[in-house]
Structure 1
Amino acid sequence: MSTHISGAYGQFAYFDRQLGHPDWAGRRVLDFGGNVGNILLDPNCTIEHGKYWSIDVSRDSITEGKRRHPRANFVFYDRYNFEFNPTGTPKLPIPDLGKFDFIVGHSVFTHVPQAEMLEFAEQLLDFLTDDGKAAFSFMDPLWQPPLDNADAFANKYAPTRMSNLQWRLRRHQEEFPDTDVPALIARAAEQTELTWVTLTNGELFFGAAGGLTDDRPNRHCDTFCTPAYMRQLFPNGQIVDPVAPVRMHCLVIDKAGRRG
């Protein structure tokens, strides 16, 4: 069975902006869920290949990443993920690859349950240097592009100022044609407090449990977290607004900012 090869780009520009344009030269960088290392393809990327590590649950992405970027480091993480590595080992710890100045995770927290996100964050912060920074993207279900910059965030599924939840529902509808988008949007609007939302197989689930259970076939999953709730989970972290064209917020946190 072949596994996921990412066609997503723009990661370096996104994290460079969210981290305040740091000096990447000479710094050890861990790209958690880095797949084939597309972050290195940005012409402005100054991450040194020999100091870059991508770790991913997609075996094929690691093989392909090594082929594309032979001087960089690619590590297969054989942990169970129903969508990307269904034969992996449940709850397998992240391998210790040493200390890193920067740890980034693009669209990883958007595909895992809340408990797994918290577990990953706790382990990854242990791998930071004392003055290192971690940055993880996440999706706010209610976020809409600002009126004066909406075109910069437009894409095939979200040509207008629709919310992130509407955007993802339209994508899911292609795979699950029976998805009743208006009804699901109405259900979300009825929630008095949106915190954590899971969209899986064309269904919406509200709250941390998220509807991801072993007794149901899971084929695709998107998870959403409001910035206010992310602040509750990581009170010492910094929440940074989306940067066009990426519609995701970013949690920026250092080693001292872990949950209490």
Structure 2
Amino acid sequence: SVLYGNHLRYDASNPEWEDRDRVVLSKGHAGPAWYATLAEKGFFDRELLLTLNQGGTNLPSHPDRIKTPGVDMTTGSLGQGTSTAAGIATALRMKGSDRRVYLIVGDGELNEGQCWEAFQYLAAHKLNNCIVIIDWNKRQLDGTLEEVMNPFDIAKKLEAFGFATQQVNGQDMIALDKALTVAENTNESAVALVLDTTKGAGIPFFETYAGNHSVKFSVPEVKQAADEALMQYAAILEGSEA
């Protein structure tokens, strides 16, 4: 919402526009959330969302740049998006373009050594045109981060690599907007945001559900999730009016 609402340069009617900013969703399993955003912004008809994962769909479970308008990089094999984003950022700089790449990475994905190779490259070349955004939701497929492989302090690790790093509440759109603005105006080093998030935020029963990394909802659960989300949204609106 924040990226497409206030930061990205794009043209939904011309997804291949040369002067656009690029988005690389390295945590490709979050593709459906991206598709919802792209549909809202007019890259394709919202009805297409109903074909998710169906045979012949243009919306596969993981993003595919050949199939889906607005997708700049095919991802899914975790870690690879970090390297491709670094390559895109390098190409843009070589062309003298002022466009940016927004790289979204999962915290469990950081188990992949490829991520840290790409980060070292970004830092060494001070590629501040690649905004690294890490979704620190503390869970991955097989459990919590600490249970699978303790990541220790992600923000401090990025700082040690040479990044100007901010840790921010990833569910606070105002805070996230400000942090992105700071990152976009940092010129002397590579930049990164560590988003402190909760998986399934705003849906209380889902936030605490142990298997919420990958799950199918029953019809009653869908209704419960929708009702809880609407209550959260109403509270946000009430707060903004106050």
Structure that is richer in helix per residue: 2
**Length-normalised TM-score, structure 1:** 0.38
**Length-normalised TM-score, structure 2:** 0.40
> Relative contact order (alpha carbons < 8 A, sep ≥ 6): 1 or 2 greater?
1
Structure that is richer in strand per residue: 1
